[in-house]
Homo-oligomer: A and B are copies of this chain.
Amino acid sequence: MSDQENILDFILKDEDNVTEKQKKIIAAAIEAFSEKGFAATSTSEIAKKAGVAEGTIFRHYKTKKDLLLKLLSPMVSKLIAPIVLKDFNKVLDAEHHSFEEFLRAVVKNRMEFLQKNDALFKILIQEIPFHQDLREIFIDQIASKVFKRLNEIMDFYKEKGEILDIPSMSAVRLAITSIFGYFIARHLILPDIHWDDEAEIERTIQFILAGLAPKS
């Protein structure tokens, strides 16, 4: 479940002969897109920020949109990576893992990931509503991999009587929107006000636990 490797390297790893300039372009694009939005960022701005010529961007990325997708596709897979990993199944084997332990582990892990890659996540959230193709990539990954896996896990805990007997799909949805809803409120909608992250995350976990606890 680790994300040791830098996402920037990950973004670039599919491409061969990655030059220093390319890294700078990616870094500059992430910064610019997250600050001003994709549509409001010009390629010349990115070029300047990256310290490369305008043409250099288009040597590596056919269009501005291509640059966006090249950034976000890895973000999507990284975002859901740990849940998809094979060893994630161990959770189910290990009898001693309670739902609470599981939830804590996942939340902690994904929160850290989001905090480390907040710019990229912001771009993803911002652009998803406007790009059908992006949404398709996203749904594809989520639907086929994440939900299936999480549903299994939820079923597992439901059977064990640790969580409420509602459709796993709904349980997953409620948990996820609680977590991401926090992130969106905190980083996108109200970034200017003070947040006690640790306390809020702990309360969110408690909230999910109680919300999904079986009726006594």
Contact = CB atoms under 8 A, between A and B. Distances in A.
Contacts of A170: 199-200, 203
Contacts of A151: none
A143 B216 CA distance: 37
Nearest to A130: B37
A48 B28 CA distance: 30
A188 interface: yes
A161 to B, nearest CB: 16
Given A122-B129, A173-B200, A207-B211, 6 more contacts: A36-B130, A39-B40, A128-B189, A135-B192, A177-B184, A210-B213
Contacts of A36: 130
Interface string A173-216: 11011101110110011111100000110011011101111011
Dominant secondary structure of chain A at its interface with chain B: helix
Interface of A: 36-37, 39-40, 122, 125-126, 128-130, 135, 138-139, 142-143, 164, 166, 170, 173-174, 176-178, 180-182, 184-185, 188-193, 199-200, 203-204, 206-208, 210-213, 215-216
B174 A178 contact: yes
A171 B163 CA distance: 21
Contacts of A208: 211
Contacts of A182: 173, 177
B139 A190 contact: yes
Contact of A180 (B181, B191, B193, B204): B181
Contacts of A189: 125, 128-129, 135, 138
B177 A181 contact: yes
A211 B130 CA distance: 33
B39 A166 contact: no
Contacts of A174: 178, 203-204, 207
Contacts of A191: 129, 135
